[in-house]
Structure formats: structure tokens, C-alpha cells
Amino acid sequence: MVKKYPGGKGSGKMHSLKPGDSMKFKPLHEFDYKPNQFSQMTFIAGGSGITPIYQLTRSILNNPEDKTKIALLYANNTEEDILLRKEFDELSQQFPDRFQRLYTVTKRGPSSDGMVEEGYVTKEMLAKVMPHKLKVSNTKVLVSGPPAMVTAVAGAKGGMGWTQGSIGGILGELGYNKEDVHKF
């Protein structure tokens, strides 16, 4: 899935392709997951940052040997911007003991179905989906989204976006450290 952004170089190029055209990709081994590596994982995503999160969620849940529990907090501007909502809702129904999700949008519209929180990611929203750090060991938090959201939730990435940087933001305030969090 590639969301087209106005003026986006990569997304514009991909959306200009016609059937039969090709494009080369280079895999990034930014986070290598092994089944049952963590007892619980929390995924915090914003906008199109959901892409690696969706891939990992499906990989974990579709592996019958993997017992990892997953919680997702997915932030967007509007309900219409929630990519893969149907797919995540279906995963929640299919794996109720292993997958829960919470959506939040900047401002709910008049047609809101009531299943979505309103506002930016907060400690209170995270408390609804995250296992308490002191009660559950062997957990990992993945954060993926626009730089401003990543900074607010987990602190800015370092090295012009190429390194993890220090932990700050909401997760830093909650006592999470570099070993607990990965930023995409």
C-alpha cells in the first residue's frame, strides 16, 4: 500500500507506474523480529506509518507458533484517513485474546461511529492499550509515523533520522528506555 502525497517524490513515482512497469526496492533491516521474542508488543502509528506495523502485525498473528500479544494505537487526522481499518478490525475479531486496537483522530467528524478517540496521542490513550511497564516484562514498543508524532511519543530520532536517538516524549515520561522502544 502506498499513499499518494501531493508533491511526494516516492509516492508520486509509484502512482505514475502503469501495469507492466517495474521499480527496484532495497529492503531495510531496521527491526528484525523473531517469533515469541516479546510477550507483548505495543505499536503506536500515525498516518502512513502504519505500513511496517501492519506487515508485522499480520506476520505475528498468522504464525500459529507465535503467542505474542499486540496492542495498536493508530492516530490520524480524520476517520477517512484510517488506512487498513477494516483489516485491523477483522484481526481484532479473529484474535481477540492477542490483538486489540484503538484509533484516534485529530477531530471527529459528524459521521463518527463512536469507535474512535479524539485528539493527539496521550498518556491516557496509551494506558488503555499498553501493558504497565512494571507489571509485564519482556515488552517492546514500536513507534512509526510522522517525525512530529514520533518526537512527541518517543523523542526524536538521532543522526538526521538514521539512528534511534534518546527516548523522550510520553514514553520517556513513563520510564521507558532505549531497549524498550524502537522508532521507525
pLDDT value, residue 132? 63
| Residue type present at position 79 | E
pLDDT digits (tens, 9 = 90+) for 77-90: 999 999 999 999 99
State which H helix or E strand residue 127 sits in.
helix 123-129
Cell of 64: 500459529
In a domain, 119, yes or no: yes
Of 1, 83, 87, nearest in space to 45 by CA: 83
CB 71 within 8 A of CB 43: yes
**Statement: residue 45 has pLDDT above 80:** yes
Domain of 130 in residue numbering reads as 39-178
Domains held by the chain: number? 1
| pLDDT (mean) for 76-105 | 95
In a domain, 111, yes or no: yes
Gyration radius from the chain CA atoms? 17
In a domain, 16, yes or no: no
Cα–Cα distances in angstroms (integers) from residue 42 to residues 105, 123, 148, 163, in the given order: 18, 13, 19, 20
In a domain, 45, yes or no: yes
In a domain, 82, yes or no: yes
CATH of the domain at 159: 3.40.50.80
pTM, 2 dp: 0.87
Of 72, 69, 135, 81, nearest in space to 106 by CA: 81
**Statement: residue 41 has pLDDT above 90:** yes
CB 89 within 8 A of CB 100: no
| pLDDT (mean) for 94-108 | 94
CB 54 within 8 A of CB 85: no
Residue carrying the nine cell digits 506476520 = 59
In a domain, 138, yes or no: yes
In a domain, 79, yes or no: yes
In a domain, 21, yes or no: no
